[in-house]
Amino acid sequence: MSVVEQYARAHIVTDADLVEEEQNAVPVVLRYDPDDDPRAVRVGLPGTHEWTIARALLEQGLRAPAGSGEVRVWPCGRVQAIVEFHSAQGVSVVQFESKTLLRFLRRTYTATAQPVSN
């Protein structure tokens, strides 16, 4: 199976101090490796911040608020989605365009689709 990696831009709202360029849209890497964990996706934020979250949680959160604990996802209006990460260092709120996350999820399911043999 193949790894799916998609680059996106997102807005980060955090309770930590940000430098000026981090207040604008920042590059984010969405990654899915079915050989590593077929039920999880990774969200790579600028710097060394990478979060692993359940693929099902990301999908559910695009339709209605989902999650608890360290990661929460919910729709924000008709075209955006919020992913909220909690850690000992604080809370980071990442705002994506929903279509970006949907496109990524579709690609992950295509990558894991098993060919039908006759």
Q: What is the mean pLDDT of residues 29-55?
A: 91
Q: Using an 8 Å Cβ cutoff, are 33 and 63 in contact?
A: no
- Report the distance separating Cα 45 and Cα 29, nearest Å: 7
Q: What is the mean pLDDT of residues 18-43?
A: 83
pLDDT bucket at 21, cuts 50 / 70 / 90: very low
DSSP per-residue letters across 30-57: EEE-TTT-TTEEEEE-STT-EEEEEHHH
Q: Is the pLDDT of residue 39 over 50?
A: yes
Give the pTM. 0.83
The tens digit of pLDDT for each residue in 50-85 reads 899 999 999 999 999 999 889 999 999 989 999 999
pLDDT bucket at 5, cuts 50 / 70 / 90: very high
